[in-house]
């Protein structure tokens, strides 16, 4: 399987100012028509808050997503912060399943007061797998 990834990566600061970050993304064929997208920003002083990624395959269609990274659980284009501070979602972070190209929007809103996301994402990890 051959992968082509077009990547836009940014650090979101207070939802207002954007700063660039150097991130290494690795898209690996792990067998059985499955790809794995991993990230590494361990050489950066700031943590990456969100990813916007286009992935296309040269032969076939992308049928499923697995192992979504629990730390990057918000899709920046489709979430809403309610007046009580809770977050609601109107879509998934991955669109385009069933085609030869997917778009991933994955963000992190970690906060010490969040019972489920109270620590920052690690500087290396897997964003997701796809078949």
pLDDT tens string 30-81? 989 899 999 999 988 888 888 888 888 888 899 999 999 988 887 766 666 7
Sign, CA dihedral 70-74-75-79, equals positive
Q: How far is CA 2 from the centre of its chain?
A: 20
Task: Decide which of 101 and 82 is more confident.
Answer: 101
Residue 123 has pLDDT above 90, yes or no: yes
Q: Tell me, what's the pLDDT at 63?
A: 94
pLDDT of amino acid 48: 87
| Domain ranges across the chain | 3-130
pLDDT at position 22 over 70: yes
* Residue 67: predicted pLDDT: 93
Structure tokens, 124: 């290396």
Nearest residue to 51 via CA among 29, 30, 33, 69: 69
């Amino acid at each position: 399987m051959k992968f082509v990834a077009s990547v836009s990566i940014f650090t979101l600061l207070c939802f207002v100012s954007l700063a660039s970050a150097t991130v290494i993304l690795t898209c690996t064929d792990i067998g059985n028509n499955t790809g794995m997208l991993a990230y590494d920003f361990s050489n950066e002083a700031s943590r990456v808050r969100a990813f916007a990624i286009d992935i296309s395959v040269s032969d076939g269609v992308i049928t499923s997503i697995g192992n979504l990274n629990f730390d990057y659980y918000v899709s920046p284009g489709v979430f809403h912060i309610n007046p009580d501070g809770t977050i609601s979602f109107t879509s998934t972070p991955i669109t385009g399943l069933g085609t030869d190209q997917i778009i991933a929007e994955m963000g992190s809103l970690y906060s010490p007061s969040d019972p489920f996301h109270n620590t920052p994402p690690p500087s290396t990890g897997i964003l997701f797998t796809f078949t």
